[in-house]
Structure 1
Amino acid sequence: MAGAGERALRLAGPEDRVDLTAFLTRAVRLDAAAVVRIRRRGDGLLGVWTQTGFEVLAGRVVRGTIAPADTCVAAESLRAALVAAPAGPVDPGWSMDSAWRGALPPEEGYVHVDDIPAKVLVDLAQRGVALAREHGAQGPPASLLAQEVLEVSGADTTVGIPMRMVFALGAMGFVPGIGRDAASSAAIDPAEVVRVRASATWTRLDARFGSVHLRRSGGLGLDVLR
Structure 2
Amino acid sequence: MTLAVPGAADRAALADVVGRVVRLDAAAVVRLRDRGGRVVLWAGTPFDVLVTAAAPGSVMPADVTVPGSDLLAALGVVDAPEVDPGTAVDDRWRGDLPGEGPWRAVGAIPAGEVDAVVGRTGPAALDETAWEAGGVRVPARCLVAVAGMGWPEQAGALPVALADDGSWLRLEAGPASVHAAIVRRRRPRLALLT
TM-score (norm 2): 0.87
- Unaligned runs of 5+ residues in structure 1 are 1-6, 133-140, 179-187, 222-226
In the alignment, residue 112 of structure 1 is paired with which amino acid? Answer: A
Q: Is the 8 A contact 1:112 1:198 kept in 2?
A: yes
Superposition misfits of 4+ residues, deviation over 4 angstroms: none
Q: Is the 8 A contact 1:27 1:52 kept in 2?
A: yes
Q: Is the 8 A contact 2:6 2:81 kept in 1?
A: no
In the comparison of the two structures, how many residue pairs are matched?
Answer: 187
Instruction: Provide the C-alpha distance between the structure 1 equivalents of 2:46 and 2:189, rounded to a whole number of angstroms.
Output: 11
Instruction: Provide the C-alpha distance between the structure 1 equivalents of 2:81 and 2:41, rounded to a whole number of angstroms.
Output: 19
How far apart are 1:219 and its partner, in Å? 6.2
**After superposition, where does 1:56-71 map in structure 2 within 5 Å?**
56-71=49-64
Moved more, 166-175 or 53-62: 166-175
Instruction: Provide the C-alpha distance between the structure 2 equivalents of 1:166 and 1:28, rounded to a whole number of angstroms.
Output: 18
Distance 1:79 1:208, change over 3 A: closer
Moved more, 44-53 or 82-91: 82-91
In the alignment, is residue 34 of structure 1 matched against residue 4 of structure 2?
Answer: no
Partner of 2:150 in structure 1? 173
Q: RMSD in angstroms over aligned alpha carbons?
A: 2.0
Distance 1:83 1:205, change over 3 A: closer
Instruction: Provide the C-alpha distance between the structure 2 equivalents of 1:220 and 1:13, rounded to a whole number of angstroms.
Output: 41
Instruction: Provide the C-alpha distance between the structure 1 equivalents of 2:111 and 2:48, rounded to a whole number of angstroms.
Output: 21
**Secondary structure at the residue paired with 1:48?**
strand
Deviation digits for residues 36-58 of structure 1 (CA, Å, limit 9, x no counterpart): 0111225x211111001211111
TM-score (norm 1): 0.76
Partner of 2:39 in structure 1? 46
Q: Is the 8 A contact 1:202 1:214 kept in 2?
A: yes
Partner of 2:188 in structure 1? 218
Partner of 1:25 in structure 2? 19
Moved more, 51-60 or 167-176: 167-176
> Percent identity among equivalent residues?
36
Return the index of the structure with the highest Cα Rg: 1
> Which of 71, 78, 82 does residue 85 from structure 1 map onto?
78
